Amino acid sequence: MEKKDVIHKQLEKLVRHLESLRIAEYMELLERPGKLILINLIAGLARGLGIAIGATVIFALVLNLLHQIILLNIPGIGDFVAEIVHIVEVKNNKF
């Protein structure tokens, strides 16, 4: 009887572990490729949008920092940064 109890406890532990891994949900997802494609498409769109927004914010912050450096009017650096900002503004006005 003791051996059955040990096996039973180990099986329960294994079942709980497999349920925590959500294997059943993953297998259901693999059986429905349309749903899997839709989920991956939405995830890809969200990642792409996040990257675009993040890159825009970082670029704007860098441009603002460069603008602040220009306002400090540091010799040499200010002229260089002013030229970079001018090039960026010219490129943005063309589009």
pLDDT profile of the chain (95 residues), mean per 10: 87 89 85 93 97 96 85 77 84 73
Tell me if 77 is assigned to some domain: yes
Tell me if 85 is assigned to some domain: yes
Number of domains present in the structure of the chain: 1
Half-sphere exposure of 20 (CA within 13 A, CB side): 6
pLDDT at 52: 97
pLDDT at 94: 64
Tell me if 73 is assigned to some domain: yes
- The pTM for the full model equals 0.54
Task: Provide the residue range defining the domain that includes 73.
Answer: 51-95
The alpha carbons of the chain give a radius of gyration, in whole angstroms, of: 29
Residues 45, 53: Cα–Cα separation, whole Å: 12
pLDDT at 38: 95
Tell me if 44 is assigned to some domain: no
Tell me if 32 is assigned to some domain: no
